């Protein structure tokens, strides 16, 4: 099972820290993969979910533990250009039920019930119904530390 910290979150969302390079590296130091939101604008890479917040060098993005969520098509193209010299696991999606990452994983929208060993169950904590993620190959969550302890974790509020 691959455990992926959504935007660097480990024990719940902290919007003011999400996608900050230090926050991301803290999650990596704690042993987690990290989903990061990447944009490419004016020949520069930026991290940030809704807007480009943190400028980063291409070298920062070359981390095998990162799952690069390209937030614009230019980012997807630029991330793809890093290959074959460096395997970048990246993807782009809008309203799709699932997308195939460049690393061969199926990044699934929250609640998609057909999970397999190559699926990443995204934000399972937001699904209120019974959602069996035990067959997924990985989990991307704001509460990833809880899922690492117990796959049946659910938010109580």
Structural domain span for residue 75: 2-149
44 occurs within a structural domain: yes
154 occurs within a structural domain: no
Residues 6+ apart with CB under 8 A from 19: 7, 8, 36, 37, 47, 48, 49, 53, 54
- The pLDDT assigned to 25 comes to 98
14 occurs within a structural domain: yes
- The pLDDT assigned to 6 comes to 98
- Dihedral of the alpha carbons of 74, 79, 80, 86, in degrees to the nearest 10: 170
- The pLDDT assigned to 157 comes to 59
**Count of domains for the chain:** 1
157 occurs within a structural domain: no
In this predicted model, what pLDDT tens digit does every residue of 17-61 receive, in sequence order? 999 999 999 999 999 999 999 999 999 999 999 999 999 999 999
- The pLDDT assigned to 110 comes to 86
Q: Which has the higher per-residue pLDDT, 112 or 11?
A: 11
What's the token pair of residue 148? 């690492």
67 occurs within a structural domain: yes
69 occurs within a structural domain: yes
Label residue 137 by pLDDT band (50, 70, 90): very high
156 occurs within a structural domain: no
What's the token pair of residue 83? 């290959």
Contact between 145 and 153 (Cβ < 8 Å): no
126 occurs within a structural domain: yes
Q: Which has the higher per-residue pLDDT, 94 or 137?
A: 137
- The pLDDT assigned to 115 comes to 83
């Amino acid at each position: 099972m691959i455990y992926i910290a959504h935007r660097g979150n480990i024990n719940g969302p902290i919007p003011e820290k999400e996608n900050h390079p230090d926050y991301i590296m803290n999650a990596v130091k704690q042993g987690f993969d990290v989903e990061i939101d990447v944009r490419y604008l004016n020949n520069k890479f930026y991290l940030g979910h809704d807007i480009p917040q943190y400028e980063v060098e291409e070298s920062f993005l070359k981390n095998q533990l990162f799952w690069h969520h390209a937030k614009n098509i230019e980012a997807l193209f630029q991330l793809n250009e890093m290959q074959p010299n460096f395997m970048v696991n990246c993807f782009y999606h809008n309203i799709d039920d699932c997308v195939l990452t460049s690393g061969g994983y199926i990044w699934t929208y929250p609640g998609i019930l057909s999970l397999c060993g190559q699926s990443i169950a995204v934000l399972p904590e937001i699904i209120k119904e019974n959602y069996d993620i035990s067959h997924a190959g990985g989990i991307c969550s704001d509460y990833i530390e809880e899922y690492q302890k117990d796959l049946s974790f659910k938010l109580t509020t």
